[in-house]
């Protein structure tokens, strides 16, 4: 707001965007309007230029994806008066996937993503794992409670969901959330002939959490053609329900041809979609393990958005099939590998994927971490260590 004319805050519905921008509007004394209001939306759609003029020089516009034409009018307004902090916009679907929109505000807008709460935010702690791990192996003692770890994963991070202590009531909220988002927000970004295919596809993706995204296999299991399937998955990504994890490769040119991994935006949501509760999570490690991997990936993504380290997140799979669940790559090409194990003990063989990543990355490799459900950090060999999950947020 101090140096950029337009700030765009993107993220899933109910992640806290409106609460945040309303507090900013009140603090700054600027106009707030939400396009979720039918009357306001109609006025903005009928006369975008006139609507903007009625708001004054500075304004907050919530859910701007509902009237995309407004962004063209904002471009004109900003070009006429290029002061910083003129507009704060929010969107529950990624309008920047629309070429006309992304081009119209290029150089005039900064984009941020607001995800559901991190574990540090929920515990009122300053979670800085991403910054720390590039400097040293985190030395910490874990909370060592399998039940508490499962509760964190099944709860997720949506503000409304975390206030519900009952698993049944939390799932009721998630169910209503999915129904509302798929019936409402999809219409803002695409025309879908068979809208009922989307919740079914989302459940299938939730069941494949942590696996490679294979369009051929998905097409066979859903009877949806690959071309339609790719379109539907892009829609789920646009409305912030699905977020694939791209592959890392030492040769940057190869990354685009490698398959991404399947991850949903929130593990509480994914757990509801596959019917996983506390008892099943304890008994069925085959279902809980991938969800735990997704939990770590989501926590890393949240921390990257505020970390001092400028880095990106990937997964790793070698030509021989060795894998690493998450790879942090800093802008200076330094690499940290992170493997996720749901067990209370770690063996030397659990570092096979990290050793392969170390060989591929060469001098860029900083260290490898195996997250496990244990009490303390244990060093195995040079720059390879087992670390309790709580190091993510403690």
Predicted confidence (pLDDT) per residue in 183-225, tens digit: 777 776 766 666 678 889 999 999 999 999 999 999 998 888 9
Distances (CA, A) of 115 to 4, 157, 311: 22, 8, 17
Q: What is the pLDDT of residue 309?
A: 92
Q: What is the pLDDT of residue 26?
A: 96
The β-bridge partners of 365 are 335
What is the model's pLDDT at position 255? 64
Q: 3-class DSSP state for residue 365?
A: strand
CA distance 394 to 54: 47
Least confident of 92-96, 225-229, 239-243: 92-96
Confidence category of residue 182, pLDDT binned at 50, 70, 90 = confident
45-59, 102-116, 226-240, 256-270: the lowest-pLDDT one: 102-116
With residues binned 3-state (H G I as helix, E B as strand, rest as coil), the percentages for the chain, rounded to 5, are 50, 20, 35
Which residues does residue 329 pair with via DSSP β-bridges, in sequence order?
312, 335
pLDDT digits (tens, 9 = 90+) for 50-78: 999 999 999 999 999 889 889 889 999 99
Q: Which position has the token pair 């945040």? A: 20
Mean per-residue pLDDT, 169-182: 93
Confidence of residue 99 (pLDDT cuts 50, 70, 90): low
Q: What is the pLDDT, as a whole number, of residue 263?
A: 98
Instruction: Give burial (CB, 10 Å; 0-12/13-18/19+) of 263.
Output: buried
> Looking at residue 141, what is its pLDDT?
74
Q: Check whether 304 has a pLDDT greater than 80.
A: yes
Helices marked H in 29-166: 38-46, 48-55, 69-80, 99-104, 119-122, 129-133, 146-155, 159-162
What b-and-e string marks burial along 147-158, b requiring 16 or more CB atoms within 10 Å of the CB?
Answer: eebbebbbbbbb
Distance CA(157)–CA(309), nearest Å, equals: 23
- Provide CB contacts within 8 A for 77, sequence distance 6+: 49, 52, 86, 87
Q: What pLDDT does residue 257 have?
A: 58
Mean pLDDT of 229-255: 88
**Do 44 and 70 touch, CB atoms closer than 8 A?**
yes
- Residues 218/207, Cβ–Cβ less than 8 Å: no
User: DSSP secondary structure string, 113-133?
Assistant: E-PSPPHHHHTT----HHHHH
The pLDDT confidence band at residue 254, using thresholds 50, 70 and 90, is low
Q: What pLDDT score was predicted for residue 193?
A: 63
The pTM assigned to this predicted structure is 0.93
Model confidence at 250, pLDDT cuts 50, 70, 90, reads confident
């Amino acid at each position: 707001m101090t140096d950029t004319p337009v700030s765009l805050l993107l993220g899933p519905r109910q992640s806290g965007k409106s609460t945040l921008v309303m507090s900013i509007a009140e603090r700054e004394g600027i106009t707030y309007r939400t396009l979720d209001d039918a009357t306001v939306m109609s006025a903005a759609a009928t006369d975008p230029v006139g609507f903007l003029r009625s708001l004054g020089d500075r304004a907050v516009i919530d859910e701007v994806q509902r009237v995309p034409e407004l962004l063209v009018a904002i471009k004109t307004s900003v070009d006429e008066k290029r002061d910083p902090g003129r507009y704060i916009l929010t969107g529950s679907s990624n309008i920047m996937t629309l070429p006309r929109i992304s081009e119209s505000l290029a150089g005039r807008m900064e984009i941020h993503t607001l995800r559901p709460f991190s574990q540090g935010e929920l515990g009122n702690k300053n979670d800085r794992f991403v910054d720390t791990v590039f400097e040293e192996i985190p030395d910490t003692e874990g909370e060592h409670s399998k039940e508490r770890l499962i509760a964190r994963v099944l709860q997720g991070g949506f503000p409304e969901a975390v206030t519900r202590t009952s698993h049944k009531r939390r799932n009721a909220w998630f169910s209503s959330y999915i129904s509302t988002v798929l019936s409402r927000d999809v219409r803002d970004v695409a025309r879908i002939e068979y809208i009922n295919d989307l919740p079914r596809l989302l459940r299938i993706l939730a069941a494949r959490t942590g696996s490679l995204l294979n369009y051929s296999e998905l097409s066979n299991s859903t009877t949806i053609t690959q071309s339609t399937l790719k379109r539907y998955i892009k829609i789920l990504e646009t409305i912030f329900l699905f977020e694939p994890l791209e592959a890392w490769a030492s040769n940057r040119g190869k990354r685009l041809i490698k398959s991404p991994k399947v991850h949903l935006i929130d593990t509480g949501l994914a757990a509801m979609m596959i019917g996983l509760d506390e008892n099943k999570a304890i008994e069925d490690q085959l279902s809980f393990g991938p969800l735990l991997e997704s939990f770590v990936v989501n926590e890393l993504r949240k921390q990257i958005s505020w970390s001092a380290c400028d880095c990106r997140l990937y997964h790793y799979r070698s030509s021989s099939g060795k894998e690493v669940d998450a790879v942090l790559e800093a802008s200076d090409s330094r690499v940290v590998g992170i493997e996720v194990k749901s067990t209370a003990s770690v063996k030397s063989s659990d570092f096979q994927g990290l050793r392969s990543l170390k060989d591929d990355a060469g001098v860029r490799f900083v260290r490898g971490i195996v997250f496990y459900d244990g009490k303390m950090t244990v060093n195995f060999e040079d720059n390879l260590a087992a670390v309790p999950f709580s190091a993510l947020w403690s």
